[in-house]
Structure 1
Amino acid sequence: MLRLKDHWTRPEGPLGYYWFLTFETSPELNTLVSGSQEAIDYPYYDAAPLASLHLTLDRISNDPTSVGADLESIERSATEVCREFEPFQITVDHLNCFRSAVAFDVTPAQRVRQLRDALRGATLHAFPAASVKRGDTNPHISIAYANVDDIAGDRVVEKMGQVNGKVGAARVTVREATMVLLERRQRSYAWEVIARVPLAG
């Protein structure tokens, strides 16, 4: 049985530098997400604002003060590796319910992982002290975050099945990776864009 976990228990404030995919100009994705958020409008979830939709590729540093001038070196290193990548299309579909979030799957996962691995290598080359993420998670885009603890999530899981039977999919072309300074606010995320690195092909 799924029991929800409050996503917002950790303190507000800066979380560090990350590599993201962001979706500021993806109307097809916005339509898919907004319709799905309406379908799972439970009081114990906070819907992610459409402007904050993102896919986390990797972490650069969880201490914003530790990077400093190395950010420019990381950007240059990432620019070099991204010259080898053609822009590619991802498909966003199929909702999953986790303990602290509801998220869409992203495929092809392997293509996203290849970009992540290239950025991770570039980051570590320029900044060996980078606190990159370890382990491997499936690429996903969170659309809502749990705001309560220890509530049975059975109804949410059931609702996911209904929503997945009704909503379609969104297709997005990935043309760049975005370096951000991420911040946790009250029941939301925000970030400052530090650099946009194009996939030059």
Structure 2
Amino acid sequence: MIAEHEWAAFSSLSEMGNHWQRPGWGPDTRRYYWFLTVDHAPKIADLARRCQEPLEGGGFDIVPAEGLHITICHIGDKHDVTEQTLKNLVAAAQSGCRSLAAFDLQAVPVAGSRGAVRLSLAPWAPLLALHLAVATACVVAGLKGHQPTHDFRPHLGVAYCNQETKASRVRKKIQELRNVESQQFTVREVQLVELRRESRVYRWDVKHSIPLLSATAHLGPPT
């Protein structure tokens, strides 16, 4: 159901734009985020690679396997966040995530937004709970500017648009990928990262990892 809604939303777009022209980013910009990574899930990297193939050389920058991530929550620019604030944030997040169990997700091909092609994620419930926990930790640490949980739309980007282009052209290229089988992976931790851009690729350094409870919330049968 989530994948259907996201494809419908993508189908309503007439134009896609340059992801890299977002304001506020420069070569020296460093920002803190809460991330999920999938380097422990090679099937997700394989799925992403398959979804990237039709987009190569067509106005998109392909996300490398080591760059695949799920943005959970923006924290703030590095120059605005002191080391003590980071320590307070980590302590608050550890407390907030203490009762959250590890969980399984499905990565479902394929959808898009104005600036990217991406995999849908399901179910949302554990992701929303995780977002609420780390966003609340931001508030406790005195940080502002994070996205409210009710506006959070989790996804996993596989390619970033680097020019203005007709969305219909992109949909035509990727539509058949919606028949590709989804893949499952387990989320066992959330990471506080320092994010940067290198040319047109996102890179990051992990500053802190917060493990989730080892009892995994397993998915039921597909619906």
TM > 0.5: yes
**Equivalent position of 1:181 in the other structure:** 194
Task: Give the SS at the match of 1:87.
Answer: strand
- % same residue: 28
**Equivalent position of 1:161 in the other structure:** 175
| Aligned pairs (5 A) from 1:35-114 | 35-61=50-76, 63-68=77-82, 69-114=84-129
Q: Check if 1:12 corresponds to 2:27.
A: yes
Q: Distance in 1 between matches of 2:109 and 2:152?
A: 16
Larger helix percent:
2
Contact kept, 8 Å, 2:103 with 2:187, in 1: the verdict is yes
* Larger RCO of the pair (alpha carbons < 8 Å, separation 6+): 1
Task: Give the SS at the match of 1:119.
Answer: helix
Q: 1:129 aligned to 132, 143, 160, which one?
A: 143
Deviation track 1:118-140 (CA, whole Å, cap 9, x = no partner) reads: 11112211x22332124613210
| Between 45-54 and 5-14, the greater mean CA deviation after superposition | 5-14
Q: Distance in 2 between matches of 1:49 and 1:13?
A: 21
What letter is aligned with 1:43?
Answer: G
**Equivalent position of 2:15 in the other structure:** 3
Contact kept, 8 Å, 1:97 with 1:160, in 2: the verdict is no
What letter is aligned with 1:128?
Answer: G
Task: Give the SS at the match of 1:118.
Answer: helix
**Equivalent position of 1:147 in the other structure:** 162
**Equivalent position of 2:221 in the other structure:** none
Task: Give the SS at the match of 2:29.
Answer: strand
Q: Check if 1:196 corresponds to 2:213.
A: no
What letter is aligned with 2:160?
Answer: Y
Q: Distance in 2 between matches of 1:53 and 1:13?
A: 22
Q: Distance in 2 between matches of 1:15 and 1:142?
A: 20
Q: Distance in 1 between matches of 2:212 and 2:80?
A: 27
Q: Distance in 2 between matches of 1:102 and 1:137?
A: 17
Q: Distance in 2 between matches of 1:15 and 1:106?
A: 27
Q: Normalising by structure 2, what TM-score?
A: 0.83
Aligned residues: 197
RMSD (Å), alpha carbons:
1.6
Contact kept, 8 Å, 1:124 with 1:130, in 2: the verdict is yes
**Equivalent position of 2:38 in the other structure:** 23
What letter is aligned with 2:206?
Answer: V
What letter is aligned with 2:175?
Answer: G
Q: CA 1:12–1:187 in structure 2 vs 1: closer, same or farther (change >3 Å)? A: same
Deviation track 1:142-196 (CA, whole Å, cap 9, x = no partner) reads: 00001112x212121122221112x211111000000001112211111110000
Q: CA 1:186–1:31 in structure 2 vs 1: closer, same or farther (change >3 Å)? A: same
Cα deviation for residue 42 of structure 1 reads 4.0
Contact kept, 8 Å, 2:17 with 2:161, in 1: the verdict is yes
